Amino acid sequence: MELMNESHHPEEFILLGFADQPWLQLPLFTVLLITYPMALLGNIAIILVSRLDPRLHSPMYFFLTNLSFLDMCYTTSIVPQMLFNLGTSKKTISYVGCVIQLYVFSIMGGTECLLLALMSFDRYVAICRPLHYTLIMNHCTCILLASIVWLGGMAYAFLEATLTLQLPLCGVNTLDHLLCEIPVLIKTACGDKEANELILSVVCIFMLAVPLCLILTSYAHIGYAIFKIKSSEGRKKAIGTCSTHLIVVLLFYGPAISMYIQPPSSISRDQPKFMALFYGVVTPTINPFIYTLRNKDVKGALRNLVSSIFRSKQ
Protein backbone atom coordinates (compact mmCIF):
# COMPACT_ATOMS: atom_id res chain seq x y z
CA MET A 1 0.00 0.00 0.00
CA GLU A 2 1.41 3.37 -0.99
CA LEU A 3 1.37 6.29 1.41
CA MET A 4 0.81 9.97 0.77
CA ASN A 5 0.35 13.20 2.63
CA GLU A 6 -3.32 13.27 3.70
CA SER A 7 -3.57 16.97 2.77
CA HIS A 8 -2.95 16.16 -0.88
CA HIS A 9 -4.66 13.86 -3.29
CA PRO A 10 -2.74 10.83 -4.63
CA GLU A 11 -1.27 10.81 -8.11
CA GLU A 12 -3.06 7.55 -8.80
CA PHE A 13 -5.31 4.94 -7.24
CA ILE A 14 -4.71 1.21 -7.16
CA LEU A 15 -7.88 -0.67 -8.11
CA LEU A 16 -7.67 -4.08 -6.50
CA GLY A 17 -10.69 -5.50 -8.31
CA PHE A 18 -10.61 -9.28 -7.96
CA ALA A 19 -6.89 -9.45 -7.10
CA ASP A 20 -7.61 -12.02 -4.39
CA GLN A 21 -9.43 -14.17 -6.97
CA PRO A 22 -7.03 -14.19 -9.96
CA TRP A 23 -8.89 -17.04 -11.65
CA LEU A 24 -11.76 -14.58 -12.29
CA GLN A 25 -9.70 -12.08 -14.27
CA LEU A 26 -9.42 -13.92 -17.60
CA PRO A 27 -13.14 -14.92 -17.76
CA LEU A 28 -14.15 -11.39 -16.77
CA PHE A 29 -11.80 -9.86 -19.36
CA THR A 30 -13.31 -12.14 -22.04
CA VAL A 31 -16.88 -11.29 -21.04
CA LEU A 32 -16.18 -7.55 -21.08
CA LEU A 33 -14.38 -7.82 -24.41
CA ILE A 34 -17.53 -9.38 -25.90
CA THR A 35 -20.23 -7.37 -24.13
CA TYR A 36 -18.70 -3.91 -24.59
CA PRO A 37 -18.86 -3.93 -28.43
CA MET A 38 -22.33 -5.49 -28.17
CA ALA A 39 -23.47 -2.64 -25.90
CA LEU A 40 -22.06 -0.02 -28.27
CA LEU A 41 -23.51 -1.61 -31.42
CA GLY A 42 -26.90 -2.27 -29.85
CA ASN A 43 -27.33 1.26 -28.54
CA ILE A 44 -25.98 2.87 -31.73
CA ALA A 45 -28.51 0.79 -33.70
CA ILE A 46 -31.35 2.03 -31.48
CA ILE A 47 -30.25 5.65 -31.97
CA LEU A 48 -29.91 5.25 -35.75
CA VAL A 49 -33.28 3.61 -36.35
CA SER A 50 -35.03 6.07 -34.02
CA ARG A 51 -33.57 9.00 -35.97
CA LEU A 52 -33.73 7.60 -39.52
CA ASP A 53 -37.15 5.91 -39.54
CA PRO A 54 -40.00 8.50 -39.69
CA ARG A 55 -42.37 6.02 -38.01
CA LEU A 56 -40.23 6.22 -34.85
CA HIS A 57 -40.27 10.00 -34.58
CA SER A 58 -42.35 10.02 -31.41
CA PRO A 59 -41.70 10.97 -27.77
CA MET A 60 -41.30 7.32 -26.76
CA TYR A 61 -38.38 6.80 -29.14
CA PHE A 62 -36.94 10.24 -28.40
CA PHE A 63 -36.57 9.21 -24.77
CA LEU A 64 -35.32 5.76 -25.82
CA THR A 65 -32.61 7.50 -27.86
CA ASN A 66 -31.60 9.40 -24.73
CA LEU A 67 -31.45 6.13 -22.79
CA SER A 68 -29.27 4.50 -25.47
CA PHE A 69 -26.87 7.44 -25.55
CA LEU A 70 -26.74 7.39 -21.75
CA ASP A 71 -25.99 3.65 -21.69
CA MET A 72 -23.14 4.10 -24.17
CA CYS A 73 -21.59 6.77 -21.95
CA TYR A 74 -22.18 4.56 -18.90
CA THR A 75 -20.23 1.60 -20.26
CA THR A 76 -17.53 3.71 -21.93
CA SER A 77 -16.78 5.48 -18.64
CA ILE A 78 -15.78 2.22 -16.94
CA VAL A 79 -15.23 -0.73 -19.30
CA PRO A 80 -12.06 0.43 -21.15
CA GLN A 81 -10.35 1.04 -17.80
CA MET A 82 -11.54 -2.36 -16.53
CA LEU A 83 -10.18 -4.08 -19.65
CA PHE A 84 -6.82 -2.33 -19.25
CA ASN A 85 -6.52 -3.33 -15.59
CA LEU A 86 -7.65 -6.90 -16.21
CA GLY A 87 -5.35 -7.32 -19.22
CA THR A 88 -2.18 -5.99 -17.58
CA SER A 89 -0.39 -6.32 -14.28
CA LYS A 90 -0.80 -2.57 -13.68
CA LYS A 91 -4.03 -2.07 -11.72
CA THR A 92 -3.96 1.70 -11.45
CA ILE A 93 -5.96 4.72 -12.55
CA SER A 94 -4.68 8.29 -12.39
CA TYR A 95 -6.30 10.70 -9.96
CA VAL A 96 -7.64 12.81 -12.83
CA GLY A 97 -8.96 9.68 -14.55
CA CYS A 98 -10.62 8.61 -11.31
CA VAL A 99 -12.28 12.01 -10.87
CA ILE A 100 -13.55 12.01 -14.47
CA GLN A 101 -14.84 8.46 -14.11
CA LEU A 102 -16.52 9.33 -10.81
CA TYR A 103 -18.36 12.32 -12.27
CA VAL A 104 -19.37 10.66 -15.55
CA PHE A 105 -20.53 7.46 -13.85
CA SER A 106 -22.52 9.46 -11.28
CA ILE A 107 -24.07 11.74 -13.91
CA MET A 108 -25.20 8.76 -15.97
CA GLY A 109 -26.59 6.96 -12.92
CA GLY A 110 -28.53 9.97 -11.64
CA THR A 111 -29.82 10.80 -15.10
CA GLU A 112 -31.00 7.24 -15.73
CA CYS A 113 -32.99 7.25 -12.47
CA LEU A 114 -34.90 10.33 -13.63
CA LEU A 115 -35.11 9.30 -17.29
CA LEU A 116 -36.80 5.98 -16.47
CA ALA A 117 -39.41 7.91 -14.46
CA LEU A 118 -39.92 10.29 -17.38
CA MET A 119 -40.38 7.35 -19.77
CA SER A 120 -43.05 5.89 -17.48
CA PHE A 121 -44.85 9.26 -17.49
CA ASP A 122 -44.76 9.22 -21.29
CA ARG A 123 -46.39 5.77 -21.29
CA TYR A 124 -48.97 6.99 -18.78
CA VAL A 125 -49.98 9.91 -21.01
CA ALA A 126 -50.01 7.69 -24.14
CA ILE A 127 -52.30 5.06 -22.60
CA CYS A 128 -54.38 7.03 -20.08
CA ARG A 129 -54.69 10.31 -22.04
CA PRO A 130 -54.44 9.19 -25.69
CA LEU A 131 -56.56 12.04 -27.09
CA HIS A 132 -54.33 14.65 -25.44
CA TYR A 133 -51.01 12.82 -26.01
CA THR A 134 -49.70 14.89 -28.92
CA LEU A 135 -50.74 18.08 -27.17
CA ILE A 136 -49.10 17.22 -23.83
CA MET A 137 -45.98 15.48 -25.17
CA ASN A 138 -45.17 17.89 -27.99
CA HIS A 139 -41.63 18.34 -29.28
CA CYS A 140 -40.80 21.36 -27.11
CA THR A 141 -42.11 19.65 -23.98
CA CYS A 142 -40.05 16.53 -24.68
CA ILE A 143 -36.86 18.56 -25.12
CA LEU A 144 -37.61 20.54 -21.94
CA LEU A 145 -38.29 17.39 -19.89
CA ALA A 146 -35.18 15.64 -21.23
CA SER A 147 -33.08 18.73 -20.41
CA ILE A 148 -34.43 18.80 -16.85
CA VAL A 149 -33.58 15.12 -16.44
CA TRP A 150 -29.98 15.59 -17.65
CA LEU A 151 -29.51 18.70 -15.51
CA GLY A 152 -30.91 16.83 -12.51
CA GLY A 153 -28.41 14.00 -13.04
CA MET A 154 -25.57 16.51 -13.30
CA ALA A 155 -26.67 18.34 -10.15
CA TYR A 156 -26.75 15.04 -8.21
CA ALA A 157 -23.29 14.05 -9.48
CA PHE A 158 -21.65 17.38 -8.75
CA LEU A 159 -23.11 17.44 -5.24
CA GLU A 160 -22.22 13.89 -4.23
CA ALA A 161 -18.94 13.49 -6.11
CA THR A 162 -17.59 16.86 -5.00
CA LEU A 163 -18.43 16.19 -1.33
CA THR A 164 -16.86 12.72 -1.59
CA LEU A 165 -13.63 14.04 -3.09
CA GLN A 166 -13.23 16.40 -0.10
CA LEU A 167 -12.87 13.47 2.32
CA PRO A 168 -9.33 12.77 3.61
CA LEU A 169 -7.81 9.44 2.61
CA CYS A 170 -5.13 9.50 5.35
CA GLY A 171 -2.41 7.83 3.32
CA VAL A 172 -4.60 5.30 1.52
CA ASN A 173 -4.71 5.20 -2.28
CA THR A 174 -5.92 1.62 -2.66
CA LEU A 175 -9.55 1.00 -3.64
CA ASP A 176 -11.01 -2.48 -3.27
CA HIS A 177 -13.12 -2.02 -6.39
CA LEU A 178 -13.12 -2.14 -10.20
CA LEU A 179 -13.74 1.58 -10.62
CA CYS A 180 -14.02 4.89 -8.78
CA GLU A 181 -17.50 4.96 -7.25
CA ILE A 182 -18.93 7.18 -4.51
CA PRO A 183 -19.82 4.54 -1.84
CA VAL A 184 -16.41 2.88 -2.12
CA LEU A 185 -14.50 6.17 -1.87
CA ILE A 186 -16.54 7.12 1.20
CA LYS A 187 -15.88 3.72 2.75
CA THR A 188 -12.14 4.08 2.06
CA ALA A 189 -11.92 7.57 3.58
CA CYS A 190 -10.91 8.11 7.18
CA GLY A 191 -12.02 10.55 9.84
CA ASP A 192 -15.55 11.84 10.27
CA LYS A 193 -17.54 10.62 7.26
CA GLU A 194 -20.94 10.12 8.89
CA ALA A 195 -22.17 13.40 7.42
CA ASN A 196 -21.24 12.25 3.90
CA GLU A 197 -22.96 8.92 4.46
CA LEU A 198 -26.09 10.71 5.67
CA ILE A 199 -26.09 13.11 2.70
CA LEU A 200 -25.53 10.21 0.29
CA SER A 201 -28.42 8.25 1.81
CA VAL A 202 -30.80 11.24 1.77
CA VAL A 203 -29.94 12.27 -1.80
CA CYS A 204 -30.11 8.68 -3.04
CA ILE A 205 -33.49 8.16 -1.40
CA PHE A 206 -34.67 11.19 -3.37
CA MET A 207 -32.95 10.08 -6.61
CA LEU A 208 -34.05 6.45 -6.38
CA ALA A 209 -37.16 6.21 -4.22
CA VAL A 210 -39.01 9.27 -5.54
CA PRO A 211 -38.65 8.36 -9.25
CA LEU A 212 -39.51 4.75 -8.43
CA CYS A 213 -42.68 5.89 -6.66
CA LEU A 214 -43.58 7.96 -9.72
CA ILE A 215 -42.99 4.91 -11.93
CA LEU A 216 -45.16 2.69 -9.73
CA THR A 217 -47.90 5.33 -9.61
CA SER A 218 -47.83 5.71 -13.40
CA TYR A 219 -48.09 1.96 -13.90
CA ALA A 220 -50.89 1.66 -11.37
CA HIS A 221 -52.92 4.07 -13.53
CA ILE A 222 -51.73 2.32 -16.70
CA GLY A 223 -52.79 -1.08 -15.33
CA TYR A 224 -56.25 0.27 -14.54
CA ALA A 225 -56.52 1.81 -18.03
CA ILE A 226 -55.41 -1.43 -19.70
CA PHE A 227 -57.96 -3.37 -17.69
CA LYS A 228 -60.69 -1.16 -19.17
CA ILE A 229 -59.54 -1.70 -22.80
CA LYS A 230 -62.10 -3.95 -24.48
CA SER A 231 -60.02 -4.90 -27.51
CA SER A 232 -57.68 -7.82 -26.79
CA GLU A 233 -55.32 -6.57 -29.51
CA GLY A 234 -55.18 -3.10 -27.96
CA ARG A 235 -54.64 -4.58 -24.52
CA LYS A 236 -51.85 -6.82 -25.82
CA LYS A 237 -50.11 -3.91 -27.55
CA ALA A 238 -50.28 -1.72 -24.44
CA ILE A 239 -48.91 -4.49 -22.23
CA GLY A 240 -46.10 -5.20 -24.71
CA THR A 241 -45.06 -1.55 -24.84
CA CYS A 242 -45.03 -1.16 -21.07
CA SER A 243 -43.46 -4.51 -20.19
CA THR A 244 -40.17 -3.64 -21.93
CA HIS A 245 -39.82 -0.50 -19.86
CA LEU A 246 -40.75 -2.32 -16.64
CA ILE A 247 -38.03 -4.94 -17.27
CA VAL A 248 -35.44 -2.19 -17.74
CA VAL A 249 -36.66 -0.47 -14.54
CA LEU A 250 -36.28 -3.68 -12.52
CA LEU A 251 -32.81 -4.39 -13.93
CA PHE A 252 -31.59 -0.89 -13.06
CA TYR A 253 -33.34 -0.06 -9.80
CA GLY A 254 -32.84 -3.43 -8.07
CA PRO A 255 -29.00 -3.34 -7.95
CA ALA A 256 -28.88 0.47 -7.56
CA ILE A 257 -31.13 0.42 -4.48
CA SER A 258 -29.18 -2.41 -2.86
CA MET A 259 -25.96 -0.44 -3.42
CA TYR A 260 -26.86 3.17 -2.66
CA ILE A 261 -29.67 3.18 -0.09
CA GLN A 262 -27.69 1.44 2.66
CA PRO A 263 -24.76 3.25 4.38
CA PRO A 264 -21.40 2.64 2.62
CA SER A 265 -19.87 1.35 5.88
CA SER A 266 -22.33 -1.58 5.90
CA ILE A 267 -21.63 -2.66 2.31
CA SER A 268 -19.92 -6.03 1.98
CA ARG A 269 -16.53 -6.30 0.29
CA ASP A 270 -17.49 -7.77 -3.08
CA GLN A 271 -20.99 -6.29 -3.40
CA PRO A 272 -19.88 -3.02 -5.08
CA LYS A 273 -17.92 -4.94 -7.71
CA PHE A 274 -20.78 -7.19 -8.78
CA MET A 275 -23.36 -4.40 -8.59
CA ALA A 276 -21.17 -2.09 -10.71
CA LEU A 277 -20.74 -4.84 -13.30
CA PHE A 278 -24.48 -5.38 -13.36
CA TYR A 279 -25.85 -1.85 -13.71
CA GLY A 280 -22.76 -0.50 -15.48
CA VAL A 281 -22.19 -3.32 -17.99
CA VAL A 282 -24.94 -5.95 -18.05
CA THR A 283 -27.96 -3.62 -18.10
CA PRO A 284 -26.67 -1.26 -20.85
CA THR A 285 -25.79 -4.32 -22.94
CA ILE A 286 -29.16 -6.05 -22.74
CA ASN A 287 -31.36 -2.91 -22.86
CA PRO A 288 -31.22 -2.64 -26.69
CA PHE A 289 -32.11 -6.32 -27.04
CA ILE A 290 -35.04 -5.96 -24.65
CA TYR A 291 -36.46 -3.10 -26.71
CA THR A 292 -35.81 -4.73 -30.10
CA LEU A 293 -36.93 -8.27 -29.29
CA ARG A 294 -40.22 -7.10 -27.80
CA ASN A 295 -40.98 -4.19 -30.14
CA LYS A 296 -42.28 -4.84 -33.67
CA ASP A 297 -41.72 -1.24 -34.79
CA VAL A 298 -38.04 -1.28 -33.80
CA LYS A 299 -37.48 -4.71 -35.35
CA GLY A 300 -39.09 -3.54 -38.59
CA ALA A 301 -36.98 -0.37 -38.62
CA LEU A 302 -33.82 -2.41 -38.00
CA ARG A 303 -34.65 -4.75 -40.88
CA ASN A 304 -35.20 -1.77 -43.18
CA LEU A 305 -31.92 -0.20 -42.07
CA VAL A 306 -29.95 -3.40 -42.66
CA SER A 307 -31.63 -3.93 -46.04
CA SER A 308 -30.84 -0.39 -47.15
CA ILE A 309 -27.17 -0.84 -46.12
CA PHE A 310 -26.87 -4.05 -48.13
CA ARG A 311 -28.60 -2.49 -51.15
CA SER A 312 -26.24 0.48 -51.07
CA LYS A 313 -23.23 -1.88 -51.23
CA GLN A 314 -24.50 -3.75 -54.28
Which among 296, 242, 310, 247 has a CA at the least distance from the CA of 53? 296
Domains identified in the chain, total number: 1
Phi, psi of 174 (to 5 degrees): -110, 125
State the pLDDT at residue 239.
75
**7 lies in a domain?**
no
The domain in which residue 221 lies consists of 12-313
Q: Are 213 and 117 in contact (CB under 8 A)?
A: no
pLDDT tens profile 32-74: 999 999 999 989 988 988 888 778 888 988 999 999 999 999 8
**3 lies in a domain?**
no
Show the low-confidence residues of the chain (pLDDT under 70): 1-9, 171, 234, 241, 262-270, 293-295, 305-306, 308-314
Model's pTM, two decimal places?
Answer: 0.85
pLDDT tens profile 164-211: 888 877 767 788 888 888 888 887 877 777 777 777 778 877 888 889
Give the domain CATH number at 250: 1.20.1070.10
b vs e for 232-245, b when ≥16 Cβ sit within 10 Å of the residue's Cβ?
Answer: eeeeeebeebbebb
State the pLDDT at residue 263.
62
State the pLDDT at residue 185.
84
